[in-house]
């Protein structure tokens, strides 16, 4: 895999560090220095690329750029309570469980769960997305509010299905596996909606980086693997989506737009 990286000259050392980290994951980074990375520059270079500027490391395409930006989540973290966050109640994060987030995304759910006390293993297999998460993690370590939260998060570069399978073969267990498949299948009987609100910029760029047609896991295999290692598996779904792997959950927490399906393994 080859990837273009636009960067401003003052961040050359950071780019060299990123280049080394990606090379270890089989990615050839092609750094190109530019005078200034502005909105106009991004519009004139719409191809998928990495960008390093005063905001840190970002993914860019179609005139937009995005990053996990964990520091931007501080407001939500401070406002969140056990009563307002279904995901916390579903995972029992306030009981400090060992938890694997097997569908890392931008890591925002893991950050919230860690805030409530969960010890999170954040697993991601795509080298570009993993490197973006690393950058967010490193920045968060220097933030006084986030530092004790991210201390409970471990980043793991691995295929989640392989990672869960290896844990099972080693007879290792965790309290919770959390799944939030990127491309949730919807109920075949659900009426098609009129044009939905535009997907958030972050998700638009993630969909370009991780296109569904390239075999991105819808989560069925992960659910099977998760059952073997977790006392509780929690799956985030759109409210009207079909059950993951067509398995009916043992319990549900229902919201207006989404739900959390829980599967309990009493044998572990």
User: Which residues belong to the annotated binding site for S-adenosyl-L-methionine?
Assistant: 124-125, 180
> Residue positions in the annotated binding site?
124-125, 180
Host H or E run for residue 56 = strand 56-61
123, two tokens: 């697993």
> For the packed helices 127-141 and 201-209, what is the interaxial angle rounded to 10 degrees?
140
Query: Cα(221)–Cα(2) distance, rounded to whole angstroms?
Result: 29
184, two tokens: 């949730």
Host H or E run for residue 35 = none
Host H or E run for residue 70 = none
CB neighbours of residue 141 within 10 Å: 11
């Amino acid at each position: 895999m080859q990837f273009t990286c636009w960067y401003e000259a003052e961040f050359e050392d950071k780019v060299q560090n990123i280049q080394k980290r990606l090379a270890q994951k089989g990615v050839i980074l092609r750094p190109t220095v530019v005078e200034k990375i502005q909105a106009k520059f991004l519009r004139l270079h719409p191809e998928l690329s990495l960008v390093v500027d005063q905001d840190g490391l970002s993914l860019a395409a179609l005139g937009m750029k995005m990053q996990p930006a964990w520091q931007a989540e501080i407001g939500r973290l401070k406002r969140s309570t056990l009563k307002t966050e279904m995901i916390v109640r579903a995972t029992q994060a306030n009981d400090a469980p060992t938890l694997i987030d097997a569908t890392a995304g931008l890591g925002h759910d893991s950050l919230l769960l860690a805030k409530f006390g969960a010890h999170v293993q954040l697993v991601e297999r795509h080298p570009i997305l993993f490197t973006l998460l690393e950058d967010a993690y490193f920045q968060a370590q220097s933030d006084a509010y986030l530092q004790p939260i991210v201390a409970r998060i471990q980043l793991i570069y691995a295929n989640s299905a392989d990672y869960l399978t290896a844990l099972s073969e080693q007879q290792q267990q965790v309290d919770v596996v959390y799944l939030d498949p990127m491309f949730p299948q919807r109920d075949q009987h659900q009426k098609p909606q009129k044009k939905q609100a535009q997907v958030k910029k972050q998700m638009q760029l993630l969909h370009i980086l991780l296109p569904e047609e390239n075999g991105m896991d819808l989560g069925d295999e992960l659910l099977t693997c998760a059952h073997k290692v977790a006392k509780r598996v929690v799956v985030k779904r759109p409210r009207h989506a079909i059950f993951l792997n067509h398995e009916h959950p043992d319990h549900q927490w229902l919201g207006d737009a989404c739900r959390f399906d829980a599967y309990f393994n009493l044998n572990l």
